[in-house]
Amino acid sequence: MDHMTNKQTIYAISGIAADDRVFQFLNLDNPLQYLPWIEPLPDETLKSYAHRMMTTYGIDQVEKPIILGLSFGGMLATEMAKIIPGSKAILISTSETRSELPLAIKAGAKMKANKFIPDMLANPPIDLAAKFFGTKKKELLKAILADSDIDFTRWALGAIGKWENDVRLSEKLKIHGTEDIVIPLVDKSSVIIDSGTHLMILDKPDEVSRAINDYLKR
């Protein structure tokens, strides 16, 4: 790890029902520090949650931090990067603005569908889940979903649906797969991973890592 000694830390935020295990296959030149979830407040907005998470971990005190977010974590990373001067955001399989969110998520939020998500969603049929999220690592996905907090998932889906951000970041890297059915590719200026799915970070970690390392070398 000596080659990482003088490299700036990347602060990483996972997707809703996930944790640090989604980052384990990345091969980055910079050290990566995972930020665990904090408890959301009732009906808290995504923007407010991002701000509390940022101050809880002192990211706002870091000079020009690098914040990496996967899926829901990318939306949080966007909100943090909007506030912190000189920060860099690395957004993977996510939406940078509300206009990039899938219509199904917006419609579900209007109907408050997140409040009716059954507990069994934390332990769905693994073949179906693997196809939806797009990974061949079924046992890993099953273990991650089994450890997820369904109440957090309900809150987060509601917060995404009410997310209003329309600000595009000046300093960011967006990485998206062509086969992402959870949050389909919208921004064609992204680094596009051919056949990449929503969880391409698990199945195509070399391509994702290369894009991140190249970006941080510039």
Main-chain phi, psi angles of 90, to 5 degrees: -115, 110
* Residue 124, token pair as written in the block: 């769905």
Task: Enumerate residues 6+ apart whose C-beta is below 8 A from 109.
Answer: 157, 158, 160, 161, 162
> In the structure, what pLDDT confidence band is assigned to residue 103 with cuts at 50, 70 and 90?
confident
- Rounded Cα gap, residues 34 and 82, in angstroms: 20
Q: Would the pLDDT of 2 be above 50?
A: no
Identify the residue with better confidence: 202 or 2: 202
| Adjacency order of strands within the sheet including 66-70 | 32-34, 10-13, 66-70, 88-92, 172-177, 191-193
Split at pLDDT 50, 70, 90, the class of 6 is confident
Q: Is 140 helix (H, G, I), strand (E, B) or coil?
A: helix
pLDDT in tens, 37-62: 999 998 999 999 999 999 999 999 99
Q: Which range (37-41, 79-83, 161-165, 209-213) has the least confidence?
A: 161-165
pLDDT of residue 213: 98
CA 11-16-22 angle, to 5 degrees, is 55
Task: With CA atoms as reference, report the closest residue to 27 among 39, 45, 42, 10.
Answer: 10
Task: Quickly state the pLDDT bin for 1 (edges 50, 70, 90).
Answer: very low
Cα→Cα distances 6→102, 118, 146, Å: 40, 46, 37
Domains and their CATH numbers in the chain: 2-217 (3.40.50.1820)
> Smallest Cα–Cα separation from 197: which of 123, 92, 67?
92
Residue with more model confidence, 112 or 66: 66
Between 63 and 122, name the one with better pLDDT: 63
Q: What is the pLDDT of residue 119?
A: 54
How far from the centroid of its chain's Cα atoms is residue 57's Cα? 17
pLDDT of res. 197: 97
32-34 and 66-70 beta bridge pairing: unpaired
By percentage, how much of the chain surpasses pLDDT 90?
80
Q: Tens digit of pLDDT for each residue in 108-149?
A: 665 555 554 555 555 678 999 999 999 999 999 999 999 999
